[in-house]
Amino acid sequence: MIYELRVRSFTGTRERSGDFRGLTRRLEYLKRLGADCLWLIPIHPSPLEDDGYDVADYCAVHPDYGTLEDFKAFLAEAHRLGLKVLMDLVLNHTSERHAWFEESRSSKEDPKRDWYVWRKDNTGYSGIGVIFRNKESDNWEWDPRTGEYYWHRFYKTQPDLNFENPEVVEATLDVADFWLGLGVDGFRLDAIHCLYEKEGTSCEHLPETHAYLKKLRRFVDGRHEGKVLLAETVGSTDKIRPYFSGGDECHMAFHFPLAAYLFYGLATEDAGAVRRCFEGFDPLPEDCAWGFMLRNHDDLAIKFLTEEERSVMKRAYAPKPGMVLNDGIRRRLSPLLGDDPSDVRLAHALILSLPGSPVLYYGDEIGMGEDLSLPDRFGLRTPMDWDEAERQERDPASLLSWLRKALSIRKAHPALVRGECRFLDPGNPKVLAFERSLGGRKILAFFNLGRSTERAGTGMTERVSVGDLWTGETRGLDPRVPLPPRSFSWFELPG
């Protein structure tokens, strides 16, 4: 399991930022929970116009979080506990306060002028949508100093780097080299589909971006062993699958549609919505995996759903003003699901059993709430509630204790982690059923997305004896299994 965290919030309060020393002290908690890997959202010096996704210096740590030495001590302790660490690598853009951009905007003759995308007018790449429509109305920004416009896919304080310039490409490889050299285990590649622009295209997912990723991968593999590249590209699976290419680009990519369709399936009691997420793309190359996250630090992406599906989602999950932000729904996991323990557990259990790596957003293990009075996405990034986490660690009936158990069962059964996945037809549209198999071990998984008890066909004609992974008991399984409302079961079939 990959645990996503924001250093500022993890050991901070509303008034004071969390830091690496605090995080280091909390690593045991993450280990006890069952995390294998941490993903830190950006930790670099930044004016924080986009919470650190506006990097002002790639090779340093934001002073609020400590020093590079504190980071190294954190990394050493994480590794001692067997936890890997992924960092966010924000390559598409820098902060306008990055020295590269300050030089670039200083004059048209500056050697770094061409490191960013400058134009005399703002007519280029027309028709490319504005992502942060709550704040921006154009992807071009006028710069009065040199009388030209620069391109930005995100906030105007985040000018896009020009990847057509080989010096930029080299500079980004140097950044990767710096952190991997310190021992970091890999990167989440932020907004990786936006790297290149080309007139007459959507400026997303361009062949040049894939060529760059192959180069980055060769560079990383050539200089460092066993590191991971994880693509962040929001869209339908036909857009995301190419980031694995033939096994020579990213090792992992977030499967954004899964979360959207999982919530859609819960709202409509339609297991097919989840099932269909696994259709329509080539099998992944060896040693590649999807990353499944229910929620993260951004709004829940739904823009790749049909219009009708989007209205279902908004009715079900964004009933109040302010819950929709740009193209997504800004809610945290537990409140999104009405703080219903069965729904929350079912959602976690699904991403723990489907073929890929579960990604857990800090606080979702304790059902943390949201604060929608805060602007933009900050309502989802409030300080970790340690009192609650400590209370739940002591309570065997808590969500935290449940999740610890679920994660430990997953770890004890490699078929659930790496097994082949074969979807079954349980003869009931409200039930998702699949088999995960590895080395002769077979696990049958059932999920009832219905709000009533449902029966699911096992595909077998007679009663068989199975191991119930949750209770550890052996029991008889009828050809049609009864499943309580919003529940799941994991059974091990006899070898």
Q: How far is the CB of 172 from ligand NOJ (least distance, A)?
A: 14
**Can 190 be counted among the known catalytic residues?**
yes
If one asks whether residue 195 binds ligand NOJ (CB under 6 A), the answer comes out as no
Residues 133-172, one symbol each (x = binds ligand NOJ by CB under 6 A, - = not), give ---------------------x------------------
Helix 256-268, helix 341-353: angle, nearest 10: 140
**Residue 50 structure tokens:** 């986009």
Amino acid at 29: Y
**Can 19 be counted among the known catalytic residues?**
no
Residue 172 CA, distance from chain mean position: 22
Q: How far is the CB of 52 from ligand NOJ (least distance, A)?
A: 9
Given 96, 143, 185, 190, the catalytic residue = 190
Q: How far is the CB of 232 from ligand NOJ (least distance, A)?
A: 6
Nearest residue (CB) to ligand NOJ, 6 versus 345: 6
Contact 56, 98 (CB under 8 A): yes
Q: How far is the CB of 53 from ligand NOJ (least distance, A)?
A: 3
Query: How many positions of this chain bind ligand NOJ (CB under 6 A)?
Result: 8
If one asks whether residue 384 binds ligand NOJ (CB under 6 A), the answer comes out as no
The angle formed by the CA atoms of residues 104, 106 and 169, to the nearest 5 degrees, is 10
Q: Which of residues 27-56 bind ligand NOJ (CB under 6 A)?
A: 50, 53
Nearest residue (CB) to ligand NOJ, 90 versus 352: 90
Given 4, 160, 232, 270, the catalytic residue = 232
Whole-angstrom distance, CA of residue 124 vs CA of residue 103:
23
Whole-angstrom distance, CA of residue 48 vs CA of residue 96:
11
The angle formed by the CA atoms of residues 43, 49 and 50, to the nearest 5 degrees, is 60
Whole-angstrom distance, CA of residue 207 vs CA of residue 195:
10
Nearest residue (CB) to ligand NOJ, 132 versus 290: 132
Q: Is 287 left (phi over 0), alpha (psi -120 to 50) or beta?
A: left
Contact 205, 236 (CB under 8 A): no
Among 143, 160, 298, 299, binds ligand NOJ (CB under 6 A): 298
DSSP letter for each residue of 453-486: -EEEE-S-SS-EEEEETTT--EEEE-SEEEE-TT
Nearest residue (CB) to ligand NOJ, 148 versus 298: 298
Whole-angstrom distance, CA of residue 489 vs CA of residue 495:
19
Residues 251-290, one symbol each (x = binds ligand NOJ by CB under 6 A, - = not), give ----------------------------------------
Whole-angstrom distance, CA of residue 406 vs CA of residue 409:
5
Q: For residue 259, which phi and psi values (nearest 5 degrees)?
A: -60, -45
Nearest residue (CB) to ligand NOJ, 74 versus 155: 155
Nearest residue (CB) to ligand NOJ, 53 versus 490: 53
Q: How far is the CB of 305 from ligand NOJ (least distance, A)?
A: 19
Among 96, 141, 185, 190, binds ligand NOJ (CB under 6 A): 190
Nearest residue (CB) to ligand NOJ, 190 versus 327: 190
Q: How far is the CB of 57 from ligand NOJ (least distance, A)?
A: 16
- Which residues have C-beta within 8 Å of that of residue 14, sequence separation ≥ 6? 382, 383
Q: How far is the CB of 327 from ligand NOJ (least distance, A)?
A: 12
If one asks whether residue 191 binds ligand NOJ (CB under 6 A), the answer comes out as yes
Residues 83-102, one symbol each (x = binds ligand NOJ by CB under 6 A, - = not), give -------x------------
Give the 3-state secondary structure percentages of the chain, helix then strand then coil, rounded to 5.
35, 20, 45
Contact positions vs ligand NOJ (CB under 6 A): 50, 53, 90, 154, 190-191, 297-298
Known catalytic residues are 190, 232
